[in-house]
Chains A and B, each alone.
Chain A
């Protein structure tokens, strides 16, 4: 069981805004470690979506954004599109485990 908890699923209609939470603790996000986000399309390798809490790599649209507060982080997708249907994972470092950890993952469904 991961130390970073995400909702199993989130859904929305095209054009809507959805958010995915990543809840940690004082040994990871709350300790100041940065959070990164990945998108995994069905049958594909994960792709970096957000790094350093809120930075977008080149090519990632600005309707994707990340934030962090306290022991949690969030990924927001505005103007939801069919192509956004995928699994999303947060990732950070945990000092108690002395290692990098992924969140439990969230499946985004576009209705």
Chain B
């Protein structure tokens, strides 16, 4: 059974870089080409926001609003992937989820496995 676990600092200072890692267990992220690996966030009391997804080959798709500040990378040797968000502000305070995206063509992806989420607070 695939499991995803987020890790990283729970507190980041404004203007600094938020860095999170998602460790995948029980499944090799290179096993199946239909799967991408992604990040989603949820501000306190708000709805879900799709950040972006990455394939084990390195192909990435970012959603526009955060695109200029976000980098998603993959480490197949460690079976994990990561998120970096630069120049953070209080508006980036959120629970960040990593998830597995099942995709069967352009615009078809859905998130079938999720991590438990990690709260990241941006504050000095």
Question: What class of interface size applies to chain B in its complex with A?
Answer: 20 to 34
Contact of B97 among A46, A92, A97, A101 (CB under 8 A): A46
CB of B92 within 8 Å of the partner chain? no
In the bound complex, do residue A48 and residue B97 qualify as a contact, i.e. CB atoms below 8 Å apart?
no
Q: How far is the CA of A93 from the CA of B105 in the complex (A)?
A: 12
**Chain A nearest CB, measured from B63 CB (Å):** 4
In the bound complex, do residue A46 and residue B114 qualify as a contact, i.e. CB atoms below 8 Å apart?
yes
The answer to whether A51 and B64 touch (CB under 8 A), given A45-B97, A45-B117, A105-B47, is: no
In the bound complex, do residue A46 and residue B111 qualify as a contact, i.e. CB atoms below 8 Å apart?
yes
Q: What is the chain B residue whose CB lies nearest that of A97?
A: B64
Q: Across the interface, which residues of B come within 8 angstroms of A95, CB to CB? A: 107
**Chain B nearest CB, measured from A57 CB (Å):** 7
In the bound complex, do residue A47 and residue B109 qualify as a contact, i.e. CB atoms below 8 Å apart?
no
CB of B116 within 8 Å of the partner chain? yes
The answer to whether A89 and B50 touch (CB under 8 A), given A38-B111, A48-B110, A100-B63, is: no
Q: Across the interface, which residues of A come within 8 angstroms of B107, CB to CB? A: 33-34, 92-93, 95, 100
**Chain B nearest CB, measured from A61 CB (Å):** 17
Task: Enumerate chain A interface residues (CB-CB to B < 8 A).
Answer: 2, 33-34, 36, 38, 40, 44-48, 51-52, 57, 89, 91-93, 95, 97-105
With A45-B114, A51-B112, A100-B53 given, can you name 7 additional A-B contacts, CB distance below 8 Å?
A33-B107, A36-B111, A89-B48, A93-B108, A95-B107, A101-B50, A102-B47
